[in-house]
Every structure is written in C-alpha cells, then in structure tokens.
Amino acid sequence: MTIAKDFAAKLAVAFVAVAMVFSSFAASASAQSTEDLQQMINDLLAQVAALQSQTGQGATGVASGVCPYTWTRDLSSGSTGGDVMKLQQFLNADPDTRVAASGAGSVGAETEYYGPATAAAVSKFQVKYRSEILSPANLVNPTGYFGPSSRVKANGLCVAAPVVDDSSDDMMDDEDDMMDDEDDDVSLGGEASLDTFEIDDPSDDTVQEGSEDVEIGTFTVEFKDGDAEISRIDIALQGGDDETDPWDTFESVSLWVDGDKIAEEDADSRGDYLDDDDGSLRFSGLDLIAMEEEEVEIVVAASLQSGMDDSSDGEDWMLYALTMRYFDADGVASTDGGTGDLDDEISGPTSDFTIEEAGADDELIAKTSSNDPDAATLQVEDDSKSDWYTVFVFDLDTDDSTNDITINEIKVNASTTLAAYSTLVDDAELVIDGVTIDSVTVTNGTSLAIPAVLTFDVDGDVTIEAGDRVEAELMLRFKSLSNEGATVKGSISSLTTSIVDAEGADDLGNGQLSGSATGETHTLRTAGADVSPVSTDADVTVNDSALNDYATFEIEFEVTAFEQDVYIAIDTATSVQYALENSAGVDYTVPAASSTAVLTSTADEGGADDAFYEVTEGSTETFTLTVTYTPVVANRSVRLAIDSITFDPTGTYATGNDQVQVTEPASDYRTSVVTIVN
C-alpha cells in the first residue's frame, strides 16, 4: 500500500468513526454524558486534523482565513456555536495565543465548545493586549472571559484577512512544541502554591430579602512561586436559629471579579447543594487566572427570596469558604482546604451578614415645615362660602428609607374656638407634593372639646421617593361666618399606624413612623383688623443709686383694617393686654408705680375725643408699645409680652363693639429676657 493510500485509508476510517458517533448519539445518550460524547467527537476531529496535516491539508489556511469576521456576543466557559470555532481559529493564528498544541482545539482541530483551553488562550490574548483590554477596565489579572473589551480588540484585529508568510509555516510547524512552551510562559509560569486566602464580611453586613446580586462576603486570594488558574471553589451557607435551610432563603449565589459575574449557581432547591446538611455549593469551570503575588478579590453575592418571617432582628447567616482547586503552569492540580480562611471542616472563619425583612429600613416622618403660614386674620364672608385658605403646612420625610413610600390614608387635626369645626368649615382638601386629595371624612367635628379629625383617603395616589421630603398642605373653605374672631389651627399627631397608612416594601409599622407638627392659629373675621408683628427690643439702664436700675421694652406691630375702619384706644389699659413675666412665662405682680406703658402709632388720632388711633379701611399703620419697669427687688429677670389687641369699629367705647385679637404666635409678641441687677 502506498503512503498516499495509507493516509486515505486512515482518513476514511476517522470520518466513518465520526459518522458512527453522531449516528449513535441518541442511543448512547442515556449511558454517557453530553460532555463525554463531546470529548469523543473532539478527539476524533483531532485525529482527522492530524491526518490532514500529514497529507498536506494542514489547517494553517483555515486558521488564517477566519478574518474578516465580527464576534457579536460575549463568550465564556460552556458556550457553544460557530463563533466559538471562529474564536479558536483566530487565536490559533497567533503562536502567542494558541488554544492547544495538539488534539481538540489545536490548529485544524478547532471545535465549537468553549472549554478551559479556550479560556486559557483568551487569557493569553488579554495579557498580550493588556493595555487595550485589561488596563482600561482597571483589571490586573486576565479573566478568560471573551467579553466586550476582548471582543472590541479581536474585531479590530480581524477586520481583514491577516497576511500570512507562507515561508514561515514550516518553521512554525516544526517549532510548535517550543512555541507552546513559550505560550505557557505568557499566561502561567512557575509551580504555584496558595499563599493567602482571606474571607471578609460584606461592606454592608445587613441585606434585605428580595435583593438581587447583593454582596455577602469577599475572598482575597494570592499565590506564590508561580501563576495559577483557579478552576473550582466550594462554599457553604449556614443560618442561625430562625432559618437553617438556605434553599428557603436564597435564589442564587454568584462570584464576581472586578465587577464581572464569572459564575452563578442556583440555590433555591435542596438539590442545588453538594450537601444539604451543611449548605455547601460548588462553582466549577471558573478558569480564573491569578498571577504570582497579585491579589485577586472574589466577591460572593446572592439573590434573596422574599417572604421571610417577620423578625425585627432579621436572620443571621454565615458564609464559609471550604476548598479551592487550581492548576499551576505545568497543569498540576491542587485542592486546598486549609490555607488561611479555607476550612473544609466548616469550622473556620466566616463572613457574617444579616438578612432583614424587606423594607425594614423604610420610614416616614412628619416634620414642621418652613412654609407653614404665620398666624393671620383670614377674611371670610357673612353671607356665602369663603375662598380656599391654606391654614397648615407640614412635611413628610422619607429620610433614610430604602424604598419609596406610598400613602394610602392620613389623618390631620383641626382645632377651633368659639364655634365647632362643623359650624365654621364647609370643606377640606390636603395637597401632598402637588397631588390634591379631596376625599375626606370628618370625625369629632361637632365638638369644641377635642379637635376635629380629618381622614384623607389618599388611596395610593401619592408616592414619596426614598430620601425625599415633601410638603403636605391643609386647605379649608369656610362657611358664612356667624362667630367673629373664631380661630382655627391645624396639626398632625405623632405618626402611628392609626394616623397614617403607608407602605414601602411592606406596610409601615409603628417603629417606622414618627414625628408630628402643629401650625399657627388663624382668626376668622368678616371685617376688622389683621395684626402682625414687626420687631421687639429690651434694654437695661444702670443708675448709680441702689434699686434705681430699670428696663425699657418695645414691641412693634402693624394693624391692617379690612372691610371697615378700626379704632384702637390710645390708653393702653383699654387697647393692649400685656404682661411682664419671667423666662418661664409666669406673670410678675407689678406695682403700678414701678412701670409705665405708652402706645404710639403712625395712625392719626380720631374717634370720640380723639382718644383713639384710627386705621382707615384698607390701610396699614404701625404701633409701638413701650414699657419701662423699675423693680423693687434686685436681680430680677423679666420680659414683656403682648397677649391681645382690642379694637372697635366706631371709636366710641360703645358697649359690645369691642373686638379682641389674640396675638399669635405668642413668641413673636414678646421681647428677650433681661436681668435688672440693681
């Protein structure tokens, strides 16, 4: 038999063998795994390639002929398809990145399966073009993952068919073994051994149920005496007393390097675990390259199930690192279960974390608003409904809430004087962050003894984003007024589930609700005076003689007349109700001879005997109350406070005409405290 015939016979036998494998695949599937059959196919393809090379049909032309070509998807261990074969052919075209020296994946024997050899060749490719692939992504170690950066570089190199020097083919073939040795030096070198393995708690050791890919621990790995390829890591998850079955808590567990997910395992079924007694999981086929004396950080993350039992303390869990399997440059495999924090006895160091019920950090706080309106006189009608007035503004703050907060119902209080809420108020609205809620139910509205409670049915129409603070504005429309000088004041009680119905990831409980706010008092009038504060002042005059020091107090305010003229008596005994009090607000008993009070104004004098200051309808005048006080005891601390202003519409002292305007807020109508030493 001639040499040519011998080659042809061998080649025919190989093709027949391949055909037999494919034809018998279905029948043998039950006896062999897909991986075993794939390996058989790859071996036979390698034999075909070897025979082709002996007959002069070498695959150099095939490998170099892959370009131009464009890869359009990421590839990693386990990937299959024509683009995998194209990748192997592309890598084999460069001696520095060849997949294999012989057998499956070698030149002419490329396959459609992305295995450890392909991952190692991709790592060589990443190292060769480190400045364009690894460095821009802040990566130190190659990943073996044919991702976006690697694809960009490969596509850039493969935009046109490479120029191949045919004269060098024979030399390259003759020096395959030498080149393969050099390839190994590019990616892996030395007889690596594990030097460091540390396990650390996550940066945030409290995670919430339902979270996806949340960090639960970090492994820090470092090798000495050479580079290594990490192929497998075993971990274990063990819970405390509340929950011991990890498949009832976890959806999946994954490994991440430099922000890329390199492996993921299902964890929501008992069958997902190597040993369901210890909650161990295995990550295989990692193909993670670790260069000598360079730290590799592997973040362990988990996606968590929802619906854990309500527990204010959460569920405590521990992550163990059991064993790690790796290869050195010579392909020598080692399985380590004792270096550093590795412990295959599940008794060593752990990463500890707590799983909280979803929304455990959600919160809603009621706070005083800087836009709450100052106390004022509201002009209403005596024969029809009034306009809408804003009487109270408060804030709703989600502060450090993890989730957005949706409000379903909220209760606001309305206190009144002289007449009950139902007598004074026609309708109410609550505007929250620009959304108007007009569905309201009123309770206690017929009583003066306790505030009316306004329950607004928000029905989920308002959602406050996590961390936001929004305004809630109570607006009232009043009935025709029959009680001049009646007042109204809004407030919201300290938040509990009886005050507000809200939800984040779950319904908010009392521990997640807090805060309260109270507005200013507003006076209702159809006609009369609107009083507003301007300034206060207090000074002490020191004299030489004993018990002769005195204080001078001034309070300035404005009066605006609407719908009528307003007369305020010049005599302070009639017009201004004031008191000298201590810092606690307790009135002093002041002998008449020890104090004087004078009321001055920008208004003209008028009324009966010019005994009044006259504020004509629509105008505003300034009034100043000046009080001097000489105490009869030493070291007296004192301040001046105005309680109310009395005016009438006629300026005649006619009985029954006087109207009293309470000065609100009280803090705006009192001076600072001064001490008269004497």
Pick from 103-112, 131-140, 386-395: least confident: 131-140
Distance of CA 629 to the CA centre of its chain: 59
- Same domain membership, residue 243 and residue 97: no
The C-alpha atoms of residue 645 and residue 532 are separated, in whole angstroms, by 11
- Same domain membership, residue 447 and residue 555: no
Q: Is the pLDDT of residue 392 over 90?
A: yes
Q: Is the pLDDT of residue 500 over 60?
A: yes
Tens digit of each residue's pLDDT (9 = 90 or more) over 469-494: 999 999 999 999 989 999 999 999 99
- Same domain membership, residue 498 and residue 350: no
- Over residues 245-263, mean pLDDT: 93
What are the phi and psi torsion angles at 285 (to 5°)? Answer: 60, 40
Kindly state the percentage of the chain with pLDDT values over 70.
84
Pick from 155-169, 308-322, 348-362, 569-583: least confident: 155-169
Residue 153, SS3 per DSSP? helix
- Same domain membership, residue 428 and residue 465: yes
- Over residues 578-582, mean pLDDT: 94
Longest dimension (CA), the chain: 148
> Helix 82-92 to helix 116-128 angle, to the nearest 10 degrees?
50
- Same domain membership, residue 332 and residue 235: yes
AA identity, residue 200? D
How many structural domains comprise the chain?
4
Q: Say how many Å lie between the first and final Cα of the chain, rounded.
A: 136
| Strand partners of residue 207 | 355
| Boundary of a domain, candidates 460, 493, 525 | 525
What is the reported pTM? 0.57
- Same domain membership, residue 198 and residue 291: yes
Q: How confident is the model at residue 172 (pLDDT cuts 50, 70, 90)?
A: very low
Tens digit of each residue's pLDDT (9 = 90 or more) over 5-18: 343 444 443 443 44
Whether 73 and 83 have beta carbons less than 8 Å apart is answered as yes
| Strand 388-397 with 315-327, pairing | unpaired
Q: Is the pLDDT of residue 177 over 90?
A: no
Whether 17 maps to a domain, the answer reads no
Q: How confident is the model at residue 138 (pLDDT cuts 50, 70, 90)?
A: confident
Q: Residue 110 belongs to a domain with what CATH number?
A: 1.10.101.10
Q: How confident is the model at residue 39 (pLDDT cuts 50, 70, 90)?
A: low
Tens digit of each residue's pLDDT (9 = 90 or more) over 190-203: 999 999 999 999 99
- Mean model confidence pLDDT for the chain: 85
Burial of 545 (0-12, 13-18, 19+ CB in 10 A): exposed
Q: Is the pLDDT of residue 227 over 90?
A: yes
Tens digit of each residue's pLDDT (9 = 90 or more) over 293-352: 999 999 999 999 987 655 455 789 999 999 999 999 888 899 999 999 999 999 999 999
Q: For residue 35, what are the contacts with CB-CB under 8 A and spacing of at least 6? A: none
Question: Per-residue DSSP letters for 533-545?
Answer: EEEEEEEEE--SS
Whether 53 maps to a domain, the answer reads no
Indicate if the alpha-carbon torsion angle 386, 388, 390, 391 is positive or negative. positive
| Boundary of a domain, candidates 316, 332, 356 | 356
- Same domain membership, residue 478 and residue 552: no
Predicted local confidence at residue 15, as pLDDT: 43
Q: Is the pLDDT of residue 182 over 60?
A: no
- What are the structure tokens assigned to 534, written together? 């301007």
Residue 262, SS3 per DSSP? strand
- Same domain membership, residue 263 and residue 169: no
Whether 20 maps to a domain, the answer reads no
Q: How confident is the model at residue 243 (pLDDT cuts 50, 70, 90)?
A: low
Whether 635 and 678 have beta carbons less than 8 Å apart is answered as yes
| Strand 388-397 with 469-478, pairing | antiparallel
CA distances from 220 to 496, 518, 645 (A): 46, 55, 76
Range of the domain at 634: 528-676
The C-alpha atoms of residue 574 and residue 438 are separated, in whole angstroms, by 45
The C-alpha atoms of residue 392 and residue 492 are separated, in whole angstroms, by 10
- What are the structure tokens assigned to 562, written together? 């609407």
- Over residues 421-427, mean pLDDT: 97
- Same domain membership, residue 346 and residue 203: yes
CA distances from 163 to 128, 157, 521 (A): 19, 12, 89
- Same domain membership, residue 316 and residue 433: no
| Boundary of a domain, candidates 187, 222, 253 | 187
